[in-house]
């Protein structure tokens, strides 16, 4: 980022937000979303904000480490140019959640100086509207009712979390859902790494013929050979999500065993590292880590910049009972960013 204007202010503020209902996955339950907002201001008065919402169970650094990093960076950034700050971030950046916040703030300053949406700063051909999937929670007795509500809201792809309840009961809940599901509606399933390889294979056989769009994190041990075998068995895309950072750190992105990657800016360290995954040739779907409004906006801009044509998991604002500001509006399964 070639920007010679100096940063004159860096302010960090904590936030703690109540969830409207518990966020459940096979890895645990979340009741609050906590983190920090960092606001940078340059010498021309242009400001940019970034959100740091650490979630170690999703693959970020710890909250303690993220907080220390933001404190250190907020002390060292004033006096640095925007270009120097960007170089510092590229060469010696902090953990992913803190890096995401700093990158977001710098990108916002750069986009505002050029009078562009962030998505268009990253990709001049980025669309102004992206498709969004609806999140209807875990497979339980209320699944069909939540699905009907999501369909009425205009969603064509519905995400369901599996691997939390008893497997036979979850299958019964899915079958009940399919009895009332309108034609053309697809299911995006997420096992959150709850199954062993044998259980995952059994599930794939059970799901054969069902309107399934994809299945995320089917196994607890993401062994590449096992995942490759499971992908060959499935007629739909399998996806890496929580295990993706492991594949990146081990340098395994040149030959991935599944068709799809779920990219979360907070976990990958921002938008630019996520954009780099486009070179893998994989299907890319963007989602959040139950982010506050600034994080959801950045995820939406990333989705537009990627322009994958897939529905993205951006409908997460409803999980928050309170927020730090207004987030992207999801209407009829679409999110309009600008224009």
Give me the mean pLDDT over the 114-142 stretch.
Answer: 96
| Rounded percentage of the chain residues whose pLDDT exceeds 90 | 93
| Edge-first strand listing for the sheet containing 330-331 | 129-131, 334-336, 330-331
Say what the pLDDT of residue 81 is.
Answer: 98
In the chain, what are the domains?
7-118 (3.30.390.10), 129-336 (3.20.20.120)
The token pair at 9 is: 């202010």
DSSP state of 246: H
Give me the mean pLDDT over the 188-210 stretch.
Answer: 96
Query: Predicted confidence band at 25 (pLDDT cuts at 50, 70, 90)?
Result: low
Supply φ then ψ for residue 290, to 5 degrees.
Answer: 50, 55
- 24 has a pLDDT exceeding 80: no
Query: Predicted confidence band at 285 (pLDDT cuts at 50, 70, 90)?
Result: very high
Is residue 306 within 8 Å of 286, Cβ to Cβ?
yes
Q: What is the pLDDT of residues 26-80, one digit of tens each?
A: 567 889 999 999 999 999 999 999 999 999 988 999 999 999 999 999 999 999 9
The token pair at 225 is: 């050979």
Tell me the pLDDT of the chain averaged across its residues.
96
Secondary element (H or E) of residue 21 = strand 7-25
Say what the pLDDT of residue 26 is.
Answer: 58
- 120 has a pLDDT exceeding 70: yes
Give me the mean pLDDT over the 191-217 stretch.
Answer: 96
Higher pLDDT, 339 or 295: 295
Q: What is the pLDDT of residues 217-248, one digit of tens each?
A: 999 999 999 999 999 999 999 999 999 999 99
Query: Predicted confidence band at 271 (pLDDT cuts at 50, 70, 90)?
Result: very high
Query: Predicted confidence band at 339 (pLDDT cuts at 50, 70, 90)?
Result: confident
Q: Within 10 Å of residue 8's Cβ, how many Cβ atoms?
A: 14
Work out whether strand 7-25 and strand 28-42 pair parallel, antiparallel, or are unpaired: antiparallel
Pick the closest to residue 138 from 154, 153, 160 (CA basis). 160
Please state at what angle helix 197-207 crosses helix 224-233, rounded to 10 degrees: 20
Ranges of H-type helices in the chain: 63-76, 82-92, 96-114, 118-122, 143-152, 167-180, 197-207, 224-233, 244-249, 265-268, 271-276, 293-306
- 93 has a pLDDT exceeding 90: yes
Alpha-carbon distance of 306 to 292, in angstroms, equals 21
Give me the mean pLDDT over the 163-183 stretch.
Answer: 92
Query: Predicted confidence band at 101 (pLDDT cuts at 50, 70, 90)?
Result: very high
| Rounded percentage of the chain residues whose pLDDT exceeds 70 | 99
Give me the mean pLDDT over the 151-156 stretch.
Answer: 97
């Amino acid at each position: 980022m070639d920007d010679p204007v100096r940063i004159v202010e860096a302010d960090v503020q904590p936030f703690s937000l109540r969830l409207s209902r518990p966020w459940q996955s096979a890895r645990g339950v979340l009741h609050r979303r906590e983190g920090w907002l960092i606001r940078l201001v340059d010498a021309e008065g242009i400001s940019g904000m970034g959100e740091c919402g650490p979630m170690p169970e999703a693959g970020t650094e710890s909250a303690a480490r993220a907080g220390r990093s933001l404190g250190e960076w907020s002390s060292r950034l004033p006096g640095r140019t925007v270009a120097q700050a960007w170089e510092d971030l590229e060469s010696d950046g902090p953990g992913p959640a803190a890096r995401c916040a700093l990158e977001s703030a710098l990108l916002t300053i750069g986009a505002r100086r050029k009078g562009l949406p962030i998505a268009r700063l990253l990709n001049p051909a980025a669309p102004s509207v992206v498709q969004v999937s609806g999140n209807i929670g875990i497979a339980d007795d209320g699944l069909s009712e939540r699905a009907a509500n999501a369909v009425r809201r205009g969603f064509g792809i519905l995400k369901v979390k599996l691997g939390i309840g008893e497997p036979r009961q979850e299958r019964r809940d899915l079958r009940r859902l399919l009895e009332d599901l309108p034609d053309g509606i697809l299911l995006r399933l997420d096992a959150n790494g709850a199954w062993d390889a044998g259980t995952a294979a059994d599930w794939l056989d059970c799901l054969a013929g069902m309107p399934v769009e994809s299945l995320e994190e089917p196994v607890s041990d993401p062994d590449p050979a096992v995942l490759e075998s499971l992908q060959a068995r499935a007629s739909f895309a399998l996806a890496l999500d929580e295990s993706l950072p492991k594949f990146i750190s081990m340098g395994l992105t040149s030959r991935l065993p599944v068709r799809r990657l779920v990219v979360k800016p907070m976990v990958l360290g921002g938008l630019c590292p996520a954009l780099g995954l486009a070179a893998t040739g994989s299907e890319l779907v963007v989602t959040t880590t139950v982010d506050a409004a600034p994080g959801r906006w950045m995820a939406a801009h990333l989705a537009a910049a990627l322009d994958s044509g897939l529905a993205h998991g951006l409908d997460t604002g409803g999980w928050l009972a309170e927020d730090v500001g207004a987030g992207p509006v999801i209407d009829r399964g679409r999110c309009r960013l600008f224009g």
